[in-house]
Structure 1
């Protein structure tokens, strides 16, 4: 018996041009696209790809179920399709290959502000901001490794010693002598291969973190450890992963003749978007709301609330004249 043909909606566009990421606890779903044309027809939003082997294929996108669409290289999108995604509350992010780097993004008006409000409240309160900053450092050292009452200054010192020890260990492993981290844009081409590779890999990491922050609706500027920069929160979150991801990669390229390009390619190939992005989202949610669930309200059901310092959130779209 011949098997029935696959439903068009189940076809892969051209591996790995489409990668659907798993649904997280807060109902965030991510879709990564590259080398496709995204457009709108009478049925819905579709992705169209043309190849010599398979001709032109189309796949309809589940716009109502998507929280974030990441558009990689070679992707074009029509105004009608973009408007439909916006109506469904989908964040659209323009990224590099594999989701590495973040160039631009649109956040729909219907995107929930739950995580932004949690971020802003903890950032504006010095005690809560200190608690989040401390939790960020503790995540780098491991659970139950920081003595109670450790100050932020002591944590910064501990982190500095930890990174120096890692540099020293990797330098011995790759037999490159003493290593010193330098970052000087004015003398970029004179830096050694490890520093060049590390700067390049960190830039890729910032892009992935940026995409996750935007998809949650958080502000990239409200940092807890870093401050005074539009990317402050990006740097905070990225620092959680450098010792595991970018630093070892940079040292492995110590003999490379083109460390910047190889770092970007290796980071993209070794660390696909679907492996890191869910982890970043979970870590941000845990830092901002450590004692609660990570469920966000359904934007289809959520109305604009009114703020009240005594009663809390009050329903919008209601005449409150009777309360006087």
Structure 2
């Protein structure tokens, strides 16, 4: 049996050094956008999480910046070990299982959320019809621009205004790129037969949904409690993603109409555009502004919190404390 050199760390020591602390992890607003992987094996070693990629030159290893990724999309042919998946969850990285090219989301992990503050605020607002209507209206107004919708406009009228706005946007971009008449269609069963603009738009929207999903989970909100959309586990994701499509994914799709590989081009161009758009901090700020419009907010840091206890009279009280002295001994 060999004895390790006194200055050489053991496997246990390397694992402890590699394990992140809360202070080491970046805020969601500072994270990178997303990473799409397919036909790889992802596993954890003593150094970090690595992807084993089979290339013409043989097997190659690529280490992944797990602590700086907000979202990882796992495409077909991907396998991942339990240890690697645990590391993603510990870093707060959302892992989505998708179809080819990141199209359609089949499953997603839920990283640990350190606070339920925003989830409780979301649930209270969602369950009150008056407040839910106010948030839905504010979402439409964010798309139109402040002051565009007259006061007292109903949700049905706002839906009609939104439909006309999107149609006009499609028509303008089609004219600019000399495409001719364009009609938005999405048929997962006939994915490869779509025209390049629809194909690019669907691929870019899937990436956008993944990033929005990651930001929602990082705040501790529920992706299912939507205000405009309803009846789907991703309803709130669709709500928030719709705020940015007209500025991000729709113009991108038309600009790539002549691409020979529109799906791959969409992911690369979308990622580059996010650096300029600074989407993650904007998503966080928009969600906070929608759920608490009259409150000043800061981007949440990863601060460790104990679980509180609920009391119907006083509200939340500190957990991790023996309350026997305040309740008295049982009779």
2:92 is matched with: 91
* Residue of structure 2 aligned with 1:203, choices 194, 202, 206: 206
Q: Summarize the Cα distance change of 1:57–1:190 in structure 2 as closer, same or farther, 3 Å threshold.
A: closer
Cα deviation, residue 136, structure 1: 0.7
* Residue of structure 2 aligned with 1:316, choices 306, 309, 319: 319
Matched, 1:264 2:267: yes
Which residues of 2 match residues 118-267 of structure 1 at below 5 A? Answer: 118-267=121-270
Q: What is the CA–CA distance in structure 2 between the aligned matches of 1:251 and 1:67, rounded to whole Å?
A: 30
Q: Summarize the Cα distance change of 1:46–1:125 in structure 2 as closer, same or farther, 3 Å threshold.
A: same
The 8 Å contact of residues 196 and 257 in structure 2, kept in 1 or not, is answered as: yes
SS of 1:94's partner is strand
Deviation digits for residues 182-214 of structure 1 (CA, Å, limit 9, x no counterpart): 112233333322222211111121111112112
Cα deviation, residue 287, structure 1: 1.4
Q: What is the CA–CA distance in structure 1 between the aligned matches of 2:70 and 2:151, rounded to whole Å?
A: 42
Cα deviation, residue 23, structure 1: 6.7
Cα deviation, residue 260, structure 1: 2.7
Please list every run of 5 or more consecutive structure 1 residues that lacks an aligned counterpart in the other structure.
Answer: 1-21, 50-55
Q: What is the CA–CA distance in structure 2 between the aligned matches of 1:297 and 1:127, rounded to whole Å?
A: 31
Please list every run of 5 or more consecutive structure 2 residues that lacks an aligned counterpart in the other structure.
Answer: 1-24, 52-60
Matched, 1:283 2:270: no
SS of 2:149's partner is coil
Q: Summarize the Cα distance change of 1:273–1:145 in structure 2 as closer, same or farther, 3 Å threshold.
A: closer
Cα deviation, residue 320, structure 1: 4.6
Q: What is the CA–CA distance in structure 1 between the aligned matches of 2:121 and 2:207, rounded to whole Å?
A: 27
Deviation digits for residues 25-54 of structure 1 (CA, Å, limit 9, x no counterpart): xx865367899x99686xxx76789xxxxx
**TM-score, length-normalised on structure 2?**
0.69
Q: What is the CA–CA distance in structure 1 between the aligned matches of 2:50 and 2:203, rounded to whole Å?
A: 32
The 8 Å contact of residues 26 and 68 in structure 2, kept in 1 or not, is answered as: no
The 8 Å contact of residues 30 and 281 in structure 2, kept in 1 or not, is answered as: no
Cα deviation, residue 137, structure 1: 0.6
Cα RMSD between the aligned structures?
4.0
Deviation digits for residues 55-111 of structure 1 (CA, Å, limit 9, x no counterpart): x9999x9x9xx79765588x999867876786xx64133369xxx888866545562
The 8 Å contact of residues 112 and 296 in structure 1, kept in 2 or not, is answered as: no
Q: What is the CA–CA distance in structure 2 between the aligned matches of 1:251 and 1:297, rounded to whole Å?
A: 37
Which residues of 2 match residues 15-54 of structure 1 at below 5 A? Answer: 29-30=30-31
SS of 1:315's partner is coil
SS of 2:93's partner is strand
The 8 Å contact of residues 113 and 220 in structure 2, kept in 1 or not, is answered as: no
Matched, 1:304 2:307: yes
Cα deviation, residue 282, structure 1: 1.7
Q: Summarize the Cα distance change of 1:294–1:121 in structure 2 as closer, same or farther, 3 Å threshold.
A: farther
1:13 is matched with: none
**TM-score, length-normalised on structure 1?**
0.71
- How many pairs were matched up? 287
Deviation digits for residues 107-166 of structure 1 (CA, Å, limit 9, x no counterpart): 455621122222212111111111111111110111122211111111111111110111
